[in-house]
Structure 1
Amino acid sequence: MHIDKKADIAETVLIAGDPRRTKWAAENLLTDYKLVSEVRNAFVYTGIYQNHKVSFATSGMGQPSIAIYATELFNDHNVQKIVRVGTCGTYNNDIKVGTVVEADQAFSEVNIFEPTKTGWQAQKPTLDLDAGVKVNVHCSDVFYRIAPLDVKTHHLDVVDMESYALFYLANHFNRKAATILTVTDNLNDHSNDMTADQREQATLDMYKNVLNKLFS
């Protein structure tokens, strides 16, 4: 198991890739929070936000990693909603660095769940938070891409590494999932990429936005 089986986890979970980001968000946004799982340093905190119980979890990077944590949250801990809160790079110059986006669809060129299927596969979120500009997300397992990618053919706006797997599992388990991302890098020219401090503040703002959408 990658999450403590005895962990007290809320039905609603916000999940980020970086455990330090999870910890920082819990310390700054939750009251009466507790560290309920720290297996492999993938921290999970449960606390209270405006009288609502909520958990902040950690997924690590990439589809295989988030698939492990989402499966255990849905299957072993009866989680009903998972919202991925993270960062992305933009392929689309009309989507500026600093923009908050919400996945309308996630596309992957590699289907890790059904490998016999070939070609690009798409998954849609099962929860609409209306928390950002709607975009098509390219969910890539390659961070430093060598082979060129024709993003226009597939109408791809931004890239992350987790959303496709999260949506696939939400559909499989009949649960709710969404992805909210801040654009931190322009992959065409890198002229105005966010600093580390800017990323952290943007992430905290996203957490607040998502929490307010969930519990308003």
Structure 2
Amino acid sequence: MEMTPTAHNGAVKGQIAKKVLMPGDPLRAKYIAETYLETPVLFTTVRNMFGYTGTYKGEEVSVMGGGMGMPSIGIYSYELFHFYDVDQIIRIGSAGALQDDVNLMDVVIGMGACTDSNYAYQYALPGTFAPIADYGLVRRAVEVAEEQGTPVAVGNVLSSDVFYNADASVNDKWRSMGVLAVEMEAAALYMNAAAAGKKALCMLTISDLIYKEGKLSAEERQLGFRKMMEIALAI
């Protein structure tokens, strides 16, 4: 561990690619590496947060879990940007649909990330910061989706600090503002990227329907997000 820049990641410099795909679930990272990457090498198992580097169609790419919530992805993405010279992080996660025309297994691209988090407090900004994705990554993701024949919805998502909210009206309020889906990490990732001068994108597969019946199992979440994964790899 003495040679590693952080206690949260077992990699030494040079073991992580400039491009990192970041699912929340470390087992999904393992699945992606073993399914899509050529000669994947495991570079960290610290706290069971698996990370791998390999190649995809000749391009070096890493995949690493980011955990649940903004504090978790905030730590991992900060360290990747600042300690491992990563240029871009693409979050590939799950989300709950807020709109009626967003259905199970649909792919959502988070152009912006609303949030109820106080994560931006650290920057002491004189107003409200609007966390957004890198436009080049958004544009390329839409192009790749079209090439692959995968419909995507592009717009605002909500990054919430609270999974079980005591206020039952919160989803109705975000839904009324046209927010597409709710997840728990994108806003922190986008803020970290902005502060570091790096690039970030959040793509989500709908795993739950908040206003209709339907949800995916844990196994379906882990293994069934192929369309999103393939878009992210091809960007």
Provide TM-score, normalisation by structure 2: 0.84
Q: Which amino acid aligns with 2:228?
A: M
Q: Out of 127, 148, 154, which is 1:134 matched to?
A: 154
Q: Which amino acid aligns with 1:168?
A: M
User: Could you tell me how far apart the structure 1 residues matched to 2:119 and 2:188 are?
Assistant: 8
Structure 2 counterpart of 1:3: 9
| 1:51–1:180 Cα change, 3 Å | same
Structure 2 counterpart of 1:168: 191
RMSD: 1.9
**1:46–1:54 CA contact under 8 A, matched in 2:** yes
Q: Once the two structures are aligned, what percentage of the paired residues are identical? A: 33
Structure 2 counterpart of 1:26: 33
Structure 2 counterpart of 1:144: 164
> Alignment partner of 2:10: what SS?
coil
User: Could you tell me how far apart the structure 1 residues matched to 2:68 and 2:224 are?
Assistant: 19
Q: How many residues align?
A: 212
Q: Out of 178, 184, 189, which is 1:155 matched to?
A: 178
User: Could you tell me how far apart the structure 1 residues matched to 2:61 and 2:197 are?
Assistant: 20
Q: Out of 124, 128, 133, which is 1:125 matched to?
A: 133
Please report how far the alpha carbon of residue 122 of structure 1 lies from its aligned counterpart in structure 2 after TM superposition: 2.7
Please report how far the alpha carbon of residue 204 of structure 1 lies from its aligned counterpart in structure 2 after TM superposition: 3.1
String of CA shifts for 1:67-111, please: whole Å, max 9, x gaps: 000000000000001000011001111111121010011011222
> Alignment partner of 1:151: what SS?
helix
Higher strand share: 1
Mapping 1:60-209, distance limit 5 Å: 60-114=67-121, 122-126=130-134, 127-128=137-138, 129-130=141-142, 131=145, 132-147=152-167, 148-149=169-170, 150-189=173-212, 191-209=213-231
**1:138–1:156 CA contact under 8 A, matched in 2:** yes
Mapping 1:30-69, distance limit 5 Å: 30-69=37-76
Please report how far the alpha carbon of residue 49 of structure 1 lies from its aligned counterpart in structure 2 after TM superposition: 0.7
The gaps in structure 2 that reach 5 residues or longer are 1-5, 146-151
Please report how far the alpha carbon of residue 163 of structure 1 lies from its aligned counterpart in structure 2 after TM superposition: 0.2
Q: Which amino acid aligns with 2:187?
A: Y
- Of 67-76 and 119-128, more deviation after overlay is shown by 119-128
Q: Which amino acid aligns with 2:154?
A: K
Higher helix share: 2
- Of 147-156 and 170-179, more deviation after overlay is shown by 147-156
